[in-house]
Amino acid sequence: MNKSWLILAIVSVISGCASMGGGQESRWSYIGDTGPAHWGTLNDKYALCSDGKSQSPVNIAGAHGMGLTAIEFSYATAQNLEIVNNGHTIQVNYPAGSYVVLTGKRFDLLQFHFHSPSENKIEGEHADLVAHLVHKAADGQLGVIAVLFVVGAEENAILSPVWAAMPLTKGSSNLAQAFDINALLPEDKGYYNFSGSLTTPPCSENVNWNVLSTRGEVSQAQINAFTQIFPNSIRPVQPLNGRMIGAF
């Protein structure tokens, strides 16, 4: 073996070890050898995907009152939103200034993205689509508002411009028209609450989950447009391990 080939071989081995050892991010997916059943072994950083005791999504059943209060929404209309196909979902990045207050604590809106069907179940049933609105508090805790949708007779007019602009392959685009995220929310904002995790690697825990109980509607064509890009986009439900689910 000549010197140049020896150098290439050493670099290859080092790169392979780094990708498995937690020194950098590892590829993951929703199917096969890099799917949810294997996430915890792909990278040391992803250990909670296998070992965590407060993982998401969950099946929501047997909810209790638990002293919850109404979610306070303070969302502003945004211009020129960035829409990203990140290889796993469509993510819409939201500008600073919009937030929610969850039981007295402020969480600032960062982005929202989609899964089809919904990741969390309610009484064993998926919704056809979910929007996860991801927020972050000043102390670093994440808070998610999940907005569920079922197939109806007509398309969802609020989502239509996002669907029209979403990239079909990895990359980004911009939504030229103004977008009012408040219009994405149902009028009745009752919700289920539980402590969980990210539903993708690294599956970090202590995420404040809030699943709105009233469902919006989307068309079958809108579902089809999303699933043609992302035929697999959900993690299976995880054990509750004694966690309580609240209802408001």
Burial class of residue 230 in the structure, from the number of CB atoms within 10 Å of its CB (0-12 exposed, 13-18 middle, 19+ buried): middle
Strand partners, 154: none
d(CA 247, CA 210): 9
Catalytic residue (choose from 88, 113, 126, 135): 88
d(CA 118, CA 129): 5
Q: What are phi and psi of 103, to 5 degrees?
A: 50, 50
The yes-or-no answer on residue 88 being catalytic is yes
d(CA 148, CA 196): 18
Residue 237, both tokens: 């439900």
Place of tokens 């990359």: 171
Runs of H (alpha helix) within 157-246: 160-165, 220-229
- The helix/strand/coil state of 71 is coil
Taken in order 94, 99, 100, 105, the sign of the CA dihedral is: positive
Where in the sequence numbering do the catalytic residues fall? Answer: 88
